[in-house]
Amino acid sequence: MVITGAGIVTSMGLGMSENAAGFREGRTAFREVDLFDVSQQRTKSAGQAVLPEKPPGVGARAWERMDRGTRFALVAAREALDEAGVSGAMPVVIGTSAGAMPIGEDFYRHAIAGERLGQFRRVECYQPQGQLTRMMAELGVAGPLRIISNACASGANAIGHAFQMIREGKADRVLAGGYDGLAQLVFAGFDSLQALSPSGVPRPFDAARDGLAIGEGAGFVVVESLEAARERGARMRASVLGYGAATDIHHLTQPHPEGDAALLTMTEATRMAGLEPEQIDYINSHGTGTPLNDVAEAGAVRRWAGDAAGKIRLSSTKSSIGHLLGGAGAVESVICLMTLEGQWLPGSLGVREVDPAVTFDLVREPREVEVRHALTNSFGFGGANATLIFGREVPA
Amino acid sequence: MSRITASGIGAVSPAGWGLEPMMAALDANQRPEVGEFERTTTGGEVVRTPVLRVPKLEDRSKLPRDPRLRRASAVGKFAAAAMYEALGVERFEAVKAGDLRLGVVCTMMNGCVNYSNRFYGEVLEAPATASPILFPETVYNAPSSHLSAVAHSHAPNDTLVGDGAEFFTGLELAAEWLERGDCDLCVVVSPEEADWLSAEAMGYYSSRMLPAEGAAAVVLEKDGAGPQLMAVPDSVNYAGESDRVAAFARLWQELEAEDDGATVWADGRVGVGRFDLPENSVSWSGPRFSLRRVLGESLGASAGLQTVAALARLNRSDAGSAIVTSVGGNEAVGGARWSR
């Protein structure tokens, strides 16, 4: 299975080039949220992205009806499809956590006030399956559509599903990715859990880390069978080598302290890829910057890599753009593709004192190295855990 | 390909907790008592919306005992009860003991709207004190997470969001997992809860649709007992075929339904002409029933309940095979064919 196209939108920028440049330079992209009232929240900033303009070829009415998150998704998916040079009949698998939540919030506010004008349109536009079906129509992609909502692992699961569909001969190619836009309910929700960093700057794997920052955007890829890609002479970016998924039943919002399910997914993904942990050149970690997540992931990496742990290079790009929730796994997969192409690693920025649980090589600033295999972890509320492995080499 | 069979079914519906009251209501074509939501807008207007609600749980043995369910919203409890019935106590205990790996697929449209509604209300009023207990229960995958937790299962768990035809994508995914050996059993659950917000939202589509709630569960396994899943074609998405009659015709062809008198059709008609048109456009003289006309429109749960009712009829030898279909509102049409 190979990747023949990729696209991305984050607070770092629009498209592969802008994002790669930002991560390579070690930039952060956080700002005060101005989409809704944050004056009474403990945290006031996030990785708020610049909303792209309507792409050429997309109908004005369709664009106007799309919520913020779907617009990010459309732009990233368009970039991936354009690079791959495909459209038409293909399954689409998309991860999201919030869907078109801001439109639902709008419906609620009008309903409370007893206002009916415009409510039908809000109901219709609130539903993610309606939004994404319209997006597919604008992209010229016929489906079928599968929307996965496994909280923060959704995007990684979506690419994993695509990988499995192709591996088992159910499709030649699949458009897969994940997205989420900022929403007041979600922002306030994480704030209520005291999961947001009060400073607004997440420091994953820092001993004094104090929470995450929420981000927004989308990441998409075209996953294709090697045969189908070869047949049409497509440029192949990378291989998809392994996928693991498991369920952490410890708690609805807290990971197992030793990262049991994360260990399962990393073990399964490396087994499927036919690799040993020491052959993984880079891990793009889940690394949210919350006290519980990072120590659990560090424990899982230590158990998975054993004696090789010290050689494993790992960073969290959430330190630059925040946590994209349902989009995180897909965006971080696309960042792994950038590292394979550019032979550099993004840094875990803002770390002042490394947490004692860290036994791996924490990459604290961008680094030029050889990257043959990159692994990304995603863990979600509810216990959804997923790991994906990508390889630079494409079979001859 | 292996035989994928439905070895257990469970239901929670406005008729009651369990398969028995639901089948009794369907057999008698008897709609349960209609209630209503009542609320007052900030302008003082009283808004009343009819609804078919699941009755209060009287028999606690219908729910597995687990601390996870204490704070769970209604949608989580509906899902747990339906799964528990579909597995049966013996298999549930075997899963808990680690003797069987249980995959969980939850399909839904509306999701955890009750807690989302309440939590967002708190956010607007006083964001600094909004409840951290409510928020985790607002995420789409909270119910499926509870199911894996109460069953002590680390096997795959996915929540799929879609329109009223999503249940069939769930069946397709479960069959994939079983075929690949990711789990020994897979339960596909379609839970939905109603509240005033979603009930009023449905009214914008048609005042003749009666909002409802509930959950359906089907336990699938490879080469097991029970009716066999003969076909679950890819749903026909409206991005590729925007005409719903044409989309349904495509699905119908792929289902290879035979109007032989021994096949029962559990259709998705709700009693509103424009929504029922695709399923009315197919000629059918055999037995057929429209669950939503009795038990209301429970969004993502309805297609699951149709499936459970069709399987129940196969289990009691009312028919030799069954077709189940649903025309989704804004994504796709889907369906499945089963055989005894």
pLDDT (tens digit per residue) in A156-167: 999 999 999 999
CB-based contact B25:B295 (threshold 8 Å): yes
Mean pLDDT of the region B252-274: 97
Work out the percent of chain A whose per-residue pLDDT is above 70: 100
* Tokens read off for A123: 């109901």
Does residue A280 belong to any structural domain of this protein? yes
Angle between helices A184-192 and A101-112 in degrees, nearest 10: 90
Question: Is the pLDDT reported for residue B285 higher than 80?
Answer: yes
Mean pLDDT of the region A260-288: 96
Report pLDDT for B40.
97
Enclosing domain of residue A231:
2-391
* Residue pLDDT, tens place only, B267-280: 999 999 999 999 99
Q: Which residue has the tokens 């429970």?
A: B298
The shortest C-alpha distance from A377 to chain B (Å) reads 16
* Residue pLDDT, tens place only, A194-241: 999 999 899 999 999 999 999 999 999 999 999 999 999 999 999 999
Q: Which residue has the tokens 């609320």?
A: B39
What CATH number does the domain containing A289 carry? 3.40.47.10
Q: Which helix (H) or strand (E) is A117 found in, with range?
A: none
Report pLDDT for B295.
98
Compare CB distances from B237 to A97, A105, A145 and report the shortest one's residue: A145
Report pLDDT for B311.
98
What is the DSSP-derived secondary structure letter of residue A382?
A: G
Report pLDDT for B260.
96
* Residue pLDDT, tens place only, A52-91: 999 999 999 999 999 999 999 999 999 999 999 999 999 9
Contact criterion met (CB < 8 Å) for B132 and A134: no
Mean pLDDT of the region A369-378: 98
- Judging by DSSP bridges, how do beta strands A373-379 and A282-284 pair with one another? parallel
Mean pLDDT of chain A: 96
CA A307 to chain centroid, in Å, comes to 29
Kindly write down the DSSP assignment for every residue of A236-273, as one continuous string: --EEEEEEEEEE--S-SSS--TT-HHHHHHHHHHHHHH
Does residue A396 belong to any structural domain of this protein? no
The sign of the dihedral angle between the CA atoms of A223, A227, A232, A233 is positive
* Residue pLDDT, tens place only, B59-118: 999 999 999 998 899 999 999 999 999 999 999 999 999 999 999 999 999 989 889 999
Enzyme catalytic residues of A: 152, 286, 323
The count of domains in chain A is: 1
3-state secondary structure of A313: strand
Mean pLDDT of chain B: 96
The shortest C-alpha distance from A331 to chain B (Å) reads 20
Work out the percent of chain B whose per-residue pLDDT is above 90: 96
Question: Is the pLDDT reported for residue B57 higher than 70?
Answer: yes
Cα–Cα distance measured from residue A213 to residue A192, given in angstroms and rounded to the nearest whole number: 13
Residues 264-283 of A with CB under 8 A from B: 264
Compare CB distances from A114 to B41, B68, B123 and report the shortest one's residue: B41
Report pLDDT for A381.
81
Three-class SS string for A215-232?
A: ECEEEEEEEECHHHHHHC
Question: Is the pLDDT reported for residue A126 higher than 90?
Answer: yes
Does residue A57 belong to any structural domain of this protein? yes
Which residues does B253 contact at the CB level (< 8 Å), separation at least 6? none
Instruction: Residue B328: list chain A partners with CB under 8 A.
Output: 129
Q: Which residue has the tokens 């219709």?
A: A124
Instruction: Residue A33: list chain B partners with CB under 8 A.
Output: none
Contact criterion met (CB < 8 Å) for B116 and A104: yes
Cα–Cα distance measured from residue B213 to residue B108, given in angstroms and rounded to the nearest whole number: 11
CB-based contact A374:A336 (threshold 8 Å): yes
Mean pLDDT of the region A127-137: 97
Report pLDDT for B1.
61
The shortest C-alpha distance from A160 to chain B (Å) reads 12
Mean pLDDT of the region B299-318: 97
Question: Is the pLDDT reported for residue A316 higher than 70?
Answer: yes
The shortest C-alpha distance from A322 to chain B (Å) reads 19
Mutate to test the interface with A, among B104, B119, B137, B145 (most CBs of A within 10 A): B145
Mean pLDDT of the region A329-349: 98
Mean pLDDT of the region B322-331: 97
Question: Is the pLDDT reported for residue A341 higher than 70?
Answer: yes
Cα–Cα distance measured from residue B248 to residue A106, given in angstroms and rounded to the nearest whole number: 33
Q: Domains, chain B, ranges and CATH? A: 4-222 (3.40.47.10), 228-339 (3.40.47.10)
Does residue A225 belong to any structural domain of this protein? yes
Q: What share of chain A is helix, strand, coil (3-state, %, to 5)?
A: 40, 20, 40
Contact criterion met (CB < 8 Å) for A143 and B240: yes
